[in-house]
Each structure stands twice: as C-alpha cells, then as structure tokens.
Structure 1
Amino acid sequence: MLQLPSSTPFRPRFIEDSTIVDPVSPNTRNIIIGEIGQKFLPRLKDDKFGLYYDKKRKSFMIGNLPTTFENDDIIINKKSYEGTQGLWRLLSYKDDPNENLYTEEDLKNYTEILW
C-alpha cells in the first residue's frame, strides 16, 4: 500500500497497490506510442471501462482483447484503426465526450471495436 503524504497517524490515507499501474510497462517498452496515444493512455488501472493495462497478461486490453499500438494507431485482432484524437477520446473517457470532439468515422471505428 502507498501512504499518501497528507496522511496523519490518526487518519492514514492509503491507495491499494493493485490500483497503481505504470502506464509504460517494461514489457511494452518496444512499442512506439505517438503523441496522441500518450495523452490518452490510462494512468490508473480501470478494467471496467475502455482501454486498460492488464498486469497478468502484461498487455493493454479493450474488454478481453489484447491491444497494441503503432505510433498513434490502435491494433486489435490484427486490424489497425487510425488513432485519431476522437477515437482515443471515445476509448479512454468514462463519460461521453462532446460530439464535436470526434467524427462519424471515429464513432464507427469505436462501435466496431466494442462489438
């Protein structure tokens, strides 16, 4: 467990180790992630929604599908999707992003990835 600096002896604040994930795992250091992807990669493990890093599989995942990257592009099931800011937003935001921030093509790709 990680004890936060604002902890006091009477009121400690802890973060469970299992929720802390290094976004760039040692096993993914050979993956080149572009500027767009770096902005949107998750910093904390959230395996309930969108893109997350699975420690056991040592891979980024969407649902139960291993996910890799080539620059900003997202590769799932050997299919490459253009890694636009809109698609990255749709895959990484918990709440729906403003519809002005993604295109119809982004939404089409997002739907295809999730279904």
Structure 2
Amino acid sequence: ENYIVIAAGGGGIPVIQKNNQLIGVEAVIDKDYASALLAQEIEADLLVILTGVPQVAINFGKENQESLSQMTLKEAEKHMNDGQFPKGSMGPKIDAAMEYVKSGRGEALITSIDQLKEAIKGQTGTRIRP
C-alpha cells in the first residue's frame, strides 16, 4: 500500500510456448502495454504513462490543436478511430491506457515527467476514465 512501482520498461525476451518448450521469437515488447498489464496485476488504482508533452492533444501540430484534460473510454476510442493518435506516437500510450481503464482497476493519466506533480494534483495531464 502507498508504493510507487516504476517498472516494465520493455527489453524482455519474447518467447512462445511450443511442445512444452519456450522458444524465442522476433517481437517488440511495448513498454506502455507492459506497464498497463503490470498495473492490472498489482491492482494499482492509477496507471501513469509519461511522455514528452504535458497533455494529450487532438489535431496535434495543427492550427486547431486542442489539449485534452480528460477523456472517457468512448471519447478515446473515437479519437483513435479518427486517426488522432498515430501508432508511432501517442497511439500505443492511449491504447495501453484504454486497456487498463477497461480492466476496471482505475484511471489512467498521461503527462510529461516535468509536469507529473501537477498532473497528480489534477492541474494538468490527461485522465482517461470509464
């Protein structure tokens, strides 16, 4: 209780089980998804995903960019389907956050490391809720 776990940064060796043996396979272990799985397993009530920006934004880098302080799962899914969160950018973070929130354990928070303290207090960051 009252611990902060910082782990699951990827870098593991992906394997499959075949004929009662573990066999190495070529794959990428996504650190955001691994973190979401870890958070579920330890029954954390908040998944924090750190990135290079203080808040998630739609229309990123465009004149009509809009930072989001919160999203429901339904809103996050809509933005994903609309292509707002590319695979090589915010997409995996949103995907992992959504999977964690769907598990019913709690909320997800996406923010930058330099804004983490303020984000925990609800002053910045993007919360993804059921």
TM-score range, shorter chain: under 0.3
TM-score norm. by structure 1 comes to 0.25
- Larger RCO, structure (CA 8 Å, separation 6 or more): 2
TM-score norm. by structure 2 comes to 0.24
